[in-house]
Amino acid sequence: MEAGLTSAMPTSRIAQLENVNVRFGKGSNAFLALDRTNLTVHPGDFVAMVGPSGCGKSTILKLVAGLLRPTEGHVFVAGREVGAERIGIGMAFQNPTMLPWLTIRENIMLPLKIVQPYAATFRRDKRTVFYDRAEGLLAKVGLTGFGDRRPWELSGGMLQRANLCRALVHSPKLLMLDEPFGALDQFTREELWSILQELWMETRPTVFLVTHDLREAAFLASRILVMSARPGRVTEDRQVDLARPRTLETTFQPEFTDLTNDLRRLIVEARQAKEPAQ
Ligand SMILES: Nc1ncnc2c1ncn2[C@@H]1O[C@H](COP(=O)(O)OP(=O)(O)OP(=O)(O)O)[C@@H](O)[C@H]1O
């Protein structure tokens, strides 16, 4: 998918939120979902966002993707204020919605059919270069031979693998992941962490990951943002310097468990903090 963009910002920052407020609802039902939020993200960052339910994590994702406008403040993406030009964005959500009448390969190739410059040559390249690109991604996520299957023939874990392929097939600069592994069992989830890490290390897109799983955040991210309860603000911006590639062994190291314990404490505190008057 694509976000529109206008006006300028240094390109060393791929995304920036400046004093952003987001208010939902009208009249007496109006409430502040995000409160004067500031955030700078650099190209190649893998940012995980954690925080109490309803604190505004997905709202930040939507702002950066251009799906939502701030009520006040500014959102810049790739040097432009969200609103005019275009940047390639890949997205994956908890529910890997695939079109049931298409094969897995055709589903994966969908962004190439829609997003320029790929769309211009889609008819020509769908049986050659784009086909190989989809097959290459399928191989990386362990789905070789499943390209011709239909979505209903695959398990939830397999669909989420295919979903990652679809999010990455057009080499997006920004990858937005909203609880992508939330519905999967722990083993499949941990397998997909490693696959996602590998894919990220190869092409280094900037990633925004929303997750409730603190181990997932610590395993994958280079930065973890902890948010306060609604109205959300970023209260902690933690650099994660654990060596890559991280493995399941990493998750047993004291640095890792200390980090996840710290995050847990911060979120418990955020949940207990009283919501300020609006
Ligand atoms: N379009 C909308 N209209 C009205 N309220 C909204 C809208 N989108 C989000 N909200 C509200 O804004 C707040 C922040 O929502 P958001 O989805 O960003 O939270 P979140 O941190 O991602 O939550 P969760 O962890 O539960 O998924 C919530 O109270 C939510 O109900």
CA 57, CA 182: separation in Å to the nearest integer?
A: 15
**Residue at 130: amino acid letter:** F
55: Cβ below 6 Å to ligand 1? yes
Which tokens sit at 118?
A: 């790929």
Which residue bears the tokens 């390639």? 88
Q: How confident is the model at residue 276 (pLDDT cuts 50, 70, 90)?
A: low
57: Cβ below 6 Å to ligand 1? yes
**Where does residue 121 fall: left (phi above 0), alpha (psi -120 to 50 degrees), or beta otherwise?**
alpha
Whether ipTM > 0.90 holds is yes
**Nearest CA among 65, 84, 48 for reference residue 239:** 48
**Nearest residue by C-alpha to atom 3 in ligand 1:** 24
As a whole-number percent, the residues of the chain with pLDDT over 70 amount to: 92
54: Cβ below 6 Å to ligand 1? yes
Q: How confident is the model at residue 49 (pLDDT cuts 50, 70, 90)?
A: very high
Q: Give pLDDT tens digits for 224-261.
A: 999 998 888 999 999 999 999 999 999 999 999 999 99
Q: Give pLDDT tens digits for 116-137.
A: 889 999 999 999 999 999 999 9
**Nearest residue by C-alpha to atom 6 in ligand 1:** 24
**Nearest CA among 160, 174, 169, 161 for reference residue 62:** 174
**Cβ–Cβ under 8 Å, residues 107 and 162:** yes
Instruction: Answer yes or no: is pLDDT of 38 > 60.
Output: yes
**Where does residue 195 fall: left (phi above 0), alpha (psi -120 to 50 degrees), or beta otherwise?**
alpha
CA 108, CA 238: separation in Å to the nearest integer?
A: 34
**Cβ–Cβ under 8 Å, residues 45 and 222:** yes
Q: How high is the pLDDT of residue 188?
A: 86
- 59, 62, 216, best to mutate for ligand 1 pocket (most atoms within 8 Å of CB): 59
Reported as type and span, the H/E element at residue 260 is: helix 254-272
Distance 182 CA to ligand 1 centre (A): 17
Q: How many CA atoms lie within 13 A of 92 on its CB side?
A: 27
Distance 33 CA to ligand 1 centre (A): 7
Q: How confident is the model at residue 89 (pLDDT cuts 50, 70, 90)?
A: confident
Cα distances (angstroms) measured from residue 164 to each of 17, 138, 152, 275: 26, 9, 17, 36
Q: How confident is the model at residue 18 (pLDDT cuts 50, 70, 90)?
A: very high
Q: How high is the pLDDT of residue 8?
A: 47
DSSP state of 70: -
**Nearest residue by C-alpha to atom 9 in ligand 1:** 59
Instruction: Answer yes or no: is pLDDT of 145 > 50.
Output: yes
233: Cβ below 6 Å to ligand 1? no
CATH architecture assignment, domain 2-272: 3-Layer(aba) Sandwich (3.40)
Distance 125 CA to ligand 1 centre (A): 40
160: Cβ below 6 Å to ligand 1? no
Q: How high is the pLDDT of residue 9?
A: 47
What are the residue boundaries of the structural domains of the chain, listed by start? 2-272
CA 155, CA 136: separation in Å to the nearest integer?
A: 20
Distance 42 CA to ligand 1 centre (A): 25
Whole-prediction pTM: 0.86
Q: Which residues contact 211 (CB under 8 A, 6 or more apart)?
A: 48, 49, 50, 179, 181, 182, 217
- Alpha helices by DSSP H, 115-253: 122-125, 129-140, 156-168, 186-203, 214-220
Instruction: Answer yes or no: is pLDDT of 7 > 50.
Output: no
- CB atoms < 10 A from the CB of 103, how many? 18
Average pLDDT, the chain: 88
Least confident residue range of 61-75, 77-91, 97-111: 77-91
Distance of CA 124 to the CA centre of its chain: 31
Q: How high is the pLDDT of residue 11?
A: 57
Q: Partners of 90 in the beta sheet?
A: 175
Phi and psi torsions of 104, nearest 5°: -60, -40
Least confident residue range of 26-40, 80-94, 239-253: 80-94
Distance 215 CA to ligand 1 centre (A): 23
In the chain the first and final C-alpha atoms are separated, in Å, by: 35
